[in-house]
Amino acid sequence: MEHKSPAKIKIREINPESQAEVSLVALRMRLTLIERVGEEKATAMYSLDWLVNRVLWHLDPSQTTAKVFLAEDRDGRVVAHAIARIERDENGRAFGYFSTIYVEPLLRNQGLATSLLLKVESWLSEMKMPKIIYNTAANHEKLIRLFGRHGYSVTHRESEMVQLTKQLH
Ligand SMILES: CC(C)(COP(=O)(O)OP(=O)(O)OC[C@H]1O[C@@H](n2cnc3c(N)ncnc32)[C@H](O)[C@@H]1OP(=O)(O)O)[C@@H](O)C(=O)NCCC(=O)NCCS
């Protein structure tokens, strides 16, 4: 396959004061669900308000330690995002939880998700997390391939979900 040159993008953190950015990420969380489970189920699962509050929850340091990274094209348009946070297991040990990733359809297959994934990994590595976990649908082959290329393996399967894990430290 011919490789397109990677789109010129800049990765930065979301501006927590920007309602427009928070709403855009929430909308794309909705679009992710629509792509994965269809519109009817997606709408029944979470309202847009709930998704907006979920983004805001990630941005509230009294609730969690998290990053919402945005990828911006050369015109400053937000074209992709990734969200990750620090969680604790049942023994109180901290680990990195990579919660979601989304790239605008027209800009897929150019390495944008890869750039976001590397950004998330470098943050969680700086935070000295021993491992990173990502949960996804067992039939999300593209996502599993993407993470597989970066050292994540399937560590758990339950009904239609798989857990991907990468050991860091
Ligand atoms: C899954 C998703 C984030 C991947 O984003 P992406 O930016 O297309 O990912 P990448 O470009 O880094 O890699 C995807 C493919 O492009 C290829 N690629 C990477 N750089 C490339 C380049 N410069 N030229 C051509 N192909 C390239 C990769 O090899 C990979 O190929 P594969 O799918 O055959 O394995 C995107 O499809 C998406 O947003 N899907 C909807 C949301 C979603 O499902 N999120 C996950 C919820 S669990």
CATH of the domain at 21: 3.40.630.30
Of 48, 47, 44, nearest to 23 (Cα)? 48
Rounded-to-5 percentages of helix, strand, coil across the chain: 40, 30, 30
Give me the pLDDT at residue 38, please. Answer: 92
Q: Tens digits of per-residue pLDDT, 83-100? A: 999 999 999 999 999 999
Q: Which residues of the chain have pLDDT under 50?
A: none
Domain for residue 112, yes or no? yes
Per-residue pLDDT at 145 = 98
Integer CA distances (angstroms), 58 to 62, 66, 108, in order: 10, 6, 25
Does some domain include residue 63?
A: yes
Which secondary-structure segment (H or E) carries 84?
strand 78-88
| Domain-located, residue 71 | yes
Per-residue confidence (pLDDT) for residue 169, from 0 to 100? 83
Provide the domain count of the chain.
1
Does a structural domain hold residue 38? Answer: yes
Ligand 1 centroid to residue 105 C-alpha, Å? 10
Q: If you measure from the C-alpha of residue 87 to the centroid of ligand 1, how many angstroms do you get, rounded to a whole number?
A: 26
| In a domain? residue 140 | no
Give the domain extent around 111: 10-127
pTM, two decimals, is 0.95
What type of residue is 158?
E
